[in-house]
């Protein structure tokens, strides 16, 4: 039930190869850094320019002067990185994606057209095509007791082997303002999270998460 293609359209990311051979999407997280190091020098020079150690920025991307970008980062064509964004490295920002003011990224893959536009923290997470986090929505990537993160679902849980893993957010997911995605959260494609939600575990595709224990199917 956690196959990569069930959550993520790999035609909408430069990082499709990092998912090859992976049983679960979160298994790509430890490989983001090496993937960027390998692919960066191969990026076409007519589309990308190098702006520092393993920092590759598309010429059509808009990066404000006040944004900070650490090594091991790829900013894809048409992306916008706004004032005071803090990209701590090991980050891939997809085509036409938006990284907003005071948003912080660390060890992440943002698929094409992702929007994290206002005061968001996204760490050790993957956000699928056209996923959107409302203002102040964040991912929490470490458990309070610092133990291994498990993905819990009806009937069991999966030991991820990772101490730092926040969320897999499927394609076209909407996360309401002020919500927190706790460690090991997996949100299915096209689902919606109510504002100010505290989310943990697995949310089925095509669902509305109102609160813990109240998840309903989206009705057309």
The reported pLDDT for the residue numbered 57 is 98
Residue 28 dihedral angles phi and psi, to the nearest 5°: -75, -20
pLDDT greater than 90 at residue 155: no
Q: What is the pLDDT of residue 191?
A: 98
Residue 219's pLDDT band (boundaries 50, 70, 90)?
confident
Mean of per-residue pLDDT scores for the chain:
97
Residue boundaries of the structural domains of the chain:
4-217
Give the C-alpha separation, 59 to 190, whole Å. Answer: 31
For residue 47 the two structure tokens come to 């589309």
pLDDT of residue 34: 97
Predicted confidence (pLDDT) at residue 220 exceeds the cutoff of 80: no
Under the banding of pLDDT at 50, 70 and 90, the label for residue 121 is very high
CA distances from 30 to 36, 114, 164 (A): 12, 21, 10
pLDDT band at residue 179 under the 50/70/90 scheme: very high
Whether residue 67 is predicted with pLDDT greater than 80 in this model: the reply is yes
User: Is 203 in contact with 175 (CB distance < 8 Å)?
Assistant: no
Report d(CA 34, CA 1) in Å as an integer.
Answer: 27
Q: Which CATH number applies to 4-217?
A: 2.160.10.10
Each residue of 41-61: b (16+ CB within 10 Å) or e?
A: eebeeeebeeeeebbbbbeeb
């Amino acid at each position: 039930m956690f196959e990569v293609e069930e959550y993520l359209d790999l035609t909408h990311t430069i990082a499709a190869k990092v998912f090859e051979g992976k049983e679960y999407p979160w298994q790509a997280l430890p490989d983001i850094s090496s993937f960027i190091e390998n692919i960066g020098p191969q990026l076409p020079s007519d589309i990308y320019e190098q702006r520092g150690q393993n920092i590759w920025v598309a010429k059509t991307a808009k990066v404000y002067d006040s944004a900070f970008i650490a090594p091991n980062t790829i900013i894809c064509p048409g992306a916008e990185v706004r004032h005071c964004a803090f990209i701590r490295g090991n980050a891939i920002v997809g085509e036409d994606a938006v990284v907003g003011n005071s948003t912080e990224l660390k060890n992440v893959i943002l698929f094409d057209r992702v929007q994290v536009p206002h005061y968001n923290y996204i760490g050790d997470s993957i956000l699928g095509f056209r996923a959107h986090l409302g203002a102040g929505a964040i991912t929490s990537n470490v458990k309070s007791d610092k133990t291994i993160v498990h993905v819990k679902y009806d009937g069991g849980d999966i030991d991820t082997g990772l101490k730092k893993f926040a969320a897999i957010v499927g394609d076209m997911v909407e996360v309401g303002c002020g919500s927190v995605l706790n460690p090991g959260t997996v949100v299915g494609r096209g689902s919606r999270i109510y504002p100010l939600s505290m989310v943990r575990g697995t949310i089925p595709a095509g669902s509305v998460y109102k609160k813990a224990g109240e998840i309903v199917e989206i009705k057309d």
